[in-house]
Every structure is written in C-alpha cells, then in structure tokens.
Amino acid sequence: MKDRAQVVIIGGGVGGCSLAYHLSELGWTDIVLLEKGELTSGSTWHAAGLCTQFNASRNNTRLQMYSLELYKSLEAKTGQAVDFHEVGSIRLASTTDRLDEYKRGRSRAAGVGLESEILSADEIGRRWPILDTEGLLGGLWLPTDGYVDPSSITMAMAAGARAAGVEIDRQTRVTALQERPDGGWVVETTKGTVECEILVNAAGMWAPRIGQMAGVALPIAPLEHQMIVTGAIPALAESPGELPVIRDPDSSFYVRQEVDSLIVGPFEKQTKSWSMDGVPWDFEAKLLEPELERIQDVLVRAGERIDMIADAGIQRFVNGPDGYTPDGGCLMGWTPGFRSFFQLCGFSIFGIVTGGGAGRFAAEWIVDGQPSVDMWELDIRRFGPWASERSYYEPRALDVYGHEYAIAFPHEERPAGRPQKKDALFDRLTERGALMGFKFGWERPLWFAPAGVPQEDHSLTFRTPDWVEHVAAECRGVRERVGILDQSSFAKYEVSGPGTRAFLDGLCANRLSDTLGKVVVTQMLTERGGIECDLTVTRTGESSYYVVGAAATQVHDLEWLIRHLPDDDSVAVENVTETRGVLTIAGPRARDLLAAVTADDVSDEVFPWLAARTVDIGGVPVFAMRLSYLGELGWELHHPVEHLLDLYDALIAAGEPMGLIDFGYRALDSMRLEKAYRLWGADISADFTPLEAGLDTFVKLDKGDFIGRDALVRQKEEGIERSLACLTVECGDAIPLGNEAIRTPGGEVVGYVSAAEHGHVVEKVIALAYLPVALSAPGTDLEIDVLDDWCAARVVEAPLFDPQNDRMRA
Ligand SMILES: Cc1cc2nc3c(=O)[nH]c(=O)nc-3n(C[C@H](O)[C@H](O)[C@H](O)COP(=O)(O)OP(=O)(O)OC[C@H]3O[C@@H](n4cnc5c(N)ncnc54)[C@H](O)[C@@H]3O)c2cc1C
C-alpha cells in the first residue's frame, strides 16, 4: 500500500468507485481507495439496480440522466461487461392526485430534456399484459429508465480507475483519522498508514463511524429495506422481450423482471432502523433476517395487481440495510470546519442511479472547485448541526422511507423529527393562528388561520389549495396597512478585524459602502461567476460588517466566508444567528408603527432607504435596517434574542390600532414575486451569473478585483445567451409551481419556470423563468405546461408591483 497519496477515498461501493473513476477521468490518479472488505460488499451488492430518472429536483434529474448515460457507455470505456437493461419504466396512477403528480413530473422532465409520456390504463395493459389494470387512471412512461447489475457497474468503474493508475486496496479497514495542521490527513488502516491531502468519506452506512473518527456527526440512519424474488413465472419465460419496470406507488411497491422471475420491492409505512450506534465493521456481504410480517400487506396488494406474484411464491428474500439521510438525498461536498474532508455518502435508496452522476460532480467539485451543475440539493451544508441530533435524523429518515411512494404534494409540511428549534415567539404565534413550517431546523410561520379556520394545511393538492385566500388577505393587509413577520431564522454573521474590508471586497460583487450603517445588497460569486451567496452587508464600525443571509444557507454561506479567510488572522467571522432575533415590519404604515415604539427619529430624512442604525425600543437596543424583500416601506429589527417576545408584544400593542397584521412566509413569497425579487436556490444559484439573473445593478466591475469578476467581464464581452424573465400566466385552478417546461407557440421547449406564485395584490399568476435572450423581451408570447395544459404566458416588464420602488423609498 502506498504511504502517501493526493486523495484517499474510504469505501469501495458504487459511490467511492464512481468518484475514483471520475477523478481519474479528470486526470487525477494519485489516489488510494480503501475498502475494508471486497468491492461492493456494503449496500451495493444487494441492490435491485433500478435506475429511474423521475425526480422532484431538476438538477438531480440531470445527475441521474448522466448516470444512465455513463452506465450505457461503461463497457466500451472500461472493457468490463455492464448489462444496462433499458426496458423503460411505468408509474401507475390510481388517483387523480397521483395523475396530477405525473403531469407535473412530465412537464419538469420536458424542461430538462428527459423523454416521458402519460399513458392510458389500456396502453399500460398492452405493455404489461400480466398486470390487472382495474382501477388505474393511467401512468407515466419513462422510456429511457431501466435497471443494471450494481456490482458490474461498480467493478467497471473500479477497473477504469485502476487502469488509469488509481490504487485500490481491498481488505484494508480504516481504523483512525488524524487531521494534520495543514489540513491534510493521516489515515490509519489495518495494513498501515497513508497520508493524503484530501480525504473522502464514501463509506455508505459506515460513514457516521468514519465521521466520528474525525469528530463529525453525520445525519445518516441505517434502515432496513426488503425485497423478494418470486419463483419462476412461465408467462415471463415465454414472453419475447423484457417487461418495463413497474412502480405502483398507490400500493407502495416496485417490480422488475429478473429473467423468468420478478423482483418485488415494497415500501412499507414502518421500516426499522438498525445499528444506530454504528454498523458493525464485520457486516460484510451480509443480509439481515427477513421480516415478512412488516411487508405482508404490501405483497398482498402486489399480488392483487399482478396475480402471478401471488401464484409464483417467494424464491429468495433480501433484507438489506442502507444509510438514509433526513431528506433521502445523499451528503456531498466539503465538510464545514475542515479544509479537505469531502463527503460522498448517505445515498439512501438511490445509490445506484445516483452513484454515477454523484461521482462525476463530486470529482469536478474536488478538481475544479465547483461541480458543473449546482449540487445544492445534495450539498452537506443544507443541514446544520441540528440535523445530526438523533431526535431529528432517525424519525426523519424513517419518515422519508415510509413516504417513498407517497404523493409529493407541493407545500406539504410533515411533522417527523420536529420541532428542533422553536424561538420565543413559537407559542405566541401559534396562539395567534400561525401554521408553522420547517426551515433549516427552525419552526417559522407559513400563514395565519383567522378565527374559526382550522389551523392546518388541510388541502394537499396540485391545484389551488384552500389556504390561498388567507395568504391573499395577509398580502393585502401588508400592502394596505402594515404587517409583522418573525424572521429570527435569518443567518447573521459579524465580520471584523483590520483585514475585513479587503476580505469582503474580494468576495462581494457589489461595492461596499464606506458609510456607517449603509446596507448593501450583494452576491458572492464562484470563479465562473455563478451566484454562490446572496446577502446584505452593512458597515457597523471602523472595520466591522454585519452580514445577513437566508436561514437555509447559514452553514453554506458561513463555510464560504471561512474558506476564504486570509491566513494572517486579520479577519474574524462570528455566527450570531442564535443570539439575534429579527422582526420584520413592512407596509405603508410601518413608519408610524416604528415611531410609536421608539422616541428616535425614523423620518425619511434621518432614516432613509437602505440605512441601518440602532434605535431604542423600550430600553432595548434594536439594530433597525431599512429594507424590504417584499417591496414596501419596512424595517428588519435585529435585536438581542432574549427580547424577541417583549418586542413583538410591544409592536402588536402599538400596531393593532393601525391595522397591523401577522403574516407568514407564504405571503412573503407571493409579494417577493410581485417585485420579481430572486430567491437563492430557486431563481439564482451557482448555475447562473448575476448578468443572466438580471442582477447587473448589484455588480460593480470597476470596483477592483473580486472572485468571479474575470468570468463576468468575459461574459459581458461575449454576451449572455439566457436571462431571467418575468411572465404572467393565464391558467385556471392549477398554477405553475416551479420547474415546468416553457415552449414557444410553435411547440419548441425553450426554458423552464424557476418559481411561480399567485400575485395576490397585482391579481396575476407570476412566473420567473430562464429563457433564451431573444425570447425574454416583454411582450413575447409563450406557453407553460401546467398539468398537461399549455397555458398562455407573456413576458412582462418587471416588477409588476411598484416598478419605481416608490413605496420602499416612501
Ligand atoms: C434492498 C436494497 C435495494 C436497493 N435497490 C436500489 C435500487 O434499485 N436502485 C438504487 O439506486 N439504489 C438501491 N439501493 C440503494 C443502494 O444499494 C445504496 O444506496 C448504494 O449501494 C450505496 O452505495 P455506497 O457506495 O454509498 O455504499 P456501500 O455500497 O455500502 O459502500 C461503502 C463501502 O465502504 C466500506 N467501508 C466502510 N467502512 C470502512 C472502513 N472503515 N474502511 C474501509 N472501507 C470501509 C464498506 O465495506 C462498503 O463497501 C438499494 C438498497 C437496498 C438495501
């Protein structure tokens, strides 16, 4: 075994081997892959090998599309036999909601260039003659889906990596890890020590134990998944070709042909976690004891749909464990707190279909500094330390498993693992009708049920839910009078020290202000000019700045800041999220409200738009920032968190005579779209530059160098090809929700919706969408696929509400 390598990968399953293969494809070959047993002996060997590209996320779909492309070409590339069965897959629908889900899925697939089609029940019967179509309303056909032997793709990727010079050491268990002062690693194994610059944890369900060796808690719960192989079915032996994979989510099982038998995999409501305190090291190429009772009722339903399953009996049982995360997506990316510890684990039930693409994008991330497709939805930084509490990740992982085949309704909030973080207003807001939603561990108000209205999201639907009228009332209340929202979940950092200005100048695309208390909206960019962070940066002292970002990106943005800190200790970053509460007040009467609780002058002359200063409210020093993400006269009131409840009560008492109302995040989302304000993670991300996103006003190319500047200069010279446009949509009961395909009236798909909502005050359905520049001019007529209906959409001048920003400047 080598004693030194640039990269050490722990784990020889599909994830680790894919990464080794893709790193070698990018020219990195000084790599050692360590496997405690034989390759694939963890969860990979016993997988069913199903590869579907049906995914709620656009970028995850792109990742899975790449995996399949790779698997089809691996044999030619590596000389190792890989048998990809492109049999297609059909998802069955027995309810109209399920069919709606597929229609949304079909539109999303079209937007990303994936072929799919809604089939009638009769057509499904023709393609799967041994299936009982009774009660079926139709299904979704994905012709390029299929299945593969998981071991053969893993072995092929390992062979490819080995041929390029990667060392693969089997029967070599990692026993201890030590981070070197320079950020590199000393890796102890049963066969000696190897040092490396970059360490990758691809240890599947053992990944938490590897994490522990380095002091990192990973939210991965090993769960049991069972499947059966039926006895021989004569009709299959006689059939000329292979049958497509069938998923019957309403009955909660999948089926694929295995020569003349069927593999049937149930997703029962209640599976079990296993070895939560650490999967034994010697669990190698093993299975768990079958527990038939747990899946019996699903198997009965499978037998009703395909009676030959019942007749053929069970030939073989598989009960295999696998590492699940709280949202079912894998953990990918650099581990916060370390210079060079990369995670690629927690694939849940999708390791085979995800492994190929995940290995590629992880390799790009390591070699090029960022993946070619934004991986935020799989990025380990989407979780904070709260997610590694067992009280969260175990019930959450079980819930994800139990809902694997549940309909993924928009806006659904499930209770498992909650609450994690309740701020001091939780009880007060709940008493006042708030329905809470979960974001990055926080419980936040989504909307407020008026007296007599049940305090629940009682209509899960792909069409217009019944809470919309209450959200609309909140929007009107804010725009006509004044509203208050608890935004304490905002991520907040204090950046200070003599090197702060130079440090932030090197990261921010906008010019920071020399004026104390001046709020600057800015993006931080990747080297390629993609939008990595979207923040406000406010000068608070000679060499200190207050940085505020979205709740969901707290760890992400903090890690970006810390990763770029100068080595000379001239800058310190302190995360003050938990110690600062934030109340947002907004609306035409916001100034009256603020003036009613403070003796300080809050007039426009003294306290203009984008100013920030400390005001005294009942003896509490409140750092008031005059800005508004919903486009009104408004302030964010940042304050010591222990005063959150008192401050709220004081504002409510002063505001009620003015018609003050509580509003929630759903109203905020509607109002921000009326202003066409972009949301990071939906409308903007590392996949888009500020020039494409129409955020040119926040970029100052003449301010000096900053990360991403060169890329923007180049893009400016060459011109952009796509840009974010605002559209209004003519649709009925169902509106676009994001990710729908957009086409020209001629039928050519030209883009997709990044976000959409009812604009309750402008009384329009609004969508933001990336379109070719030639089609993004106001007045352009297009069509958006909403539930199989191509709705008329027109590009409009944005924003639709208060285009001159008169209200914010009032
Ligand atoms: C019954 C079942 C059916 C499934 N079917 C499908 C399917 O149809 N489609 C699909 O996409 N996914 C499926 N999956 C999921 C899929 O099997 C997993 O997501 C995937 O195999 C995980 O791959 P991995 O490389 O992360 O982990 P693993 O394959 O477990 O690899 C991790 C490796 O790390 C090694 N390791 C651990 N600790 C150490 C150490 N200290 N030192 C050295 N090496 C170490 C282990 O020995 C192991 O080989 C299924 C899972 C189950 C349980």
Distance 552 CA to ligand 1 centre (A): 29
User: Which residue has the least CA distance to atom 46 on ligand 1?
Assistant: 42
Q: What's the whole-number mean pLDDT along residues 415-439?
A: 97
Q: What's the whole-number mean pLDDT along residues 522-543?
A: 97
pTM for the structure as a whole = 0.97
Q: What's the whole-number mean pLDDT along residues 117-146?
A: 96
pLDDT confidence of 546, banded at 50, 70, 90? very high
How high is the pLDDT of residue 300? 95
User: Which residue has the least CA distance to atom 37 on ligand 1?
Assistant: 203
**Is the C-beta atom of 42 inside 6 A of ligand 1?**
yes
How high is the pLDDT of residue 459? 79
Vertex 807 angle, CA 519 and 632, to 5°:
65
Residue 186 · residue 180 · CB < 8 Å: yes
User: Which residue has the least CA distance to atom 49 on ligand 1?
Assistant: 42
Q: Enumerate residues 6+ apart whose C-beta is below 8 A from 40.
A: 12, 13, 14, 150, 151, 154, 155
**Is the C-beta atom of 43 inside 6 A of ligand 1?**
yes
pLDDT tens-place string over residues 73-89:
999 999 999 989 999 99
* Mean pLDDT, all residues of the chain: 97
Phi/psi-derived region of residue 375, left when phi > 0, alpha when psi is between -120 and 50, beta in every other case: alpha
Is the pLDDT at 206 greater than 90, yes or no? yes
Distance 155 CA to ligand 1 centre (A): 13
Distance 391 CA to ligand 1 centre (A): 24
pLDDT tens-place string over residues 331-353:
999 999 999 999 999 999 999 99
Is the pLDDT at 105 greater than 90, yes or no? yes
**Is the C-beta atom of 357 inside 6 A of ligand 1?**
no
Probe residue for ligand 1, chosen from 65, 191, 349, 354 as the CB with the greatest number of ligand atoms within 8 Å: 349
Is the pLDDT at 310 greater than 90, yes or no? no
Q: How far apart are CA 11 and CA 203, in angstroms?
A: 4
The atom of ligand 1 lying closest to the CA of 147 is 8
How high is the pLDDT of residue 486? 98
How high is the pLDDT of residue 557? 98
**Is the C-beta atom of 146 inside 6 A of ligand 1?**
no
How high is the pLDDT of residue 786? 96
Tokens describing residue 545? 């700045």
Distance 211 CA to ligand 1 centre (A): 16
pLDDT tens-place string over residues 367-408:
999 999 999 999 999 999 999 999 999 999 999 999 999 999
User: Which residue has the least CA distance to atom 4 on ligand 1?
Assistant: 47
**Is the C-beta atom of 222 inside 6 A of ligand 1?**
no
How many other C-beta atoms can be found within 10 angstroms of the C-beta atom of residue 46?
A: 21
Classify residue 492 as exposed, middle or buried by CB count within 10 Å of its CB (0-12, 13-18, 19+). buried
User: Which residue has the least CA distance to atom 15 on ligand 1?
Assistant: 349
pLDDT confidence of 654, banded at 50, 70, 90? very high
Closest of 223, 217, 226, 326 to residue 279, by C-alpha: 223
**Is the C-beta atom of 345 inside 6 A of ligand 1?**
yes
pLDDT tens-place string over residues 208-258:
999 999 999 999 999 999 999 999 999 898 888 999 999 999 999 999 999
Phi/psi-derived region of residue 112, left when phi > 0, alpha when psi is between -120 and 50, beta in every other case: alpha
The atom of ligand 1 lying closest to the CA of 11 is 34
Distance 216 CA to ligand 1 centre (A): 20
Tokens describing residue 589? 């009467």
Running DSSP on this structure, what letter comes out for residue 123? H
**Is the C-beta atom of 50 inside 6 A of ligand 1?**
yes
Least confident of 450-459, 484-493, 745-754: 450-459
Q: How far apart are CA 261 and CA 775, in angstroms?
A: 52
**Is the C-beta atom of 590 inside 6 A of ligand 1?**
no
How distant, in Å, are the alpha carbons of 472, 589, 662 from that of 477?
9, 11, 9
Is the pLDDT at 458 greater than 80, yes or no? no
How high is the pLDDT of residue 495? 98
Question: Omega of the bond prior to 336 within 30 degrees of 0, cis?
Answer: no
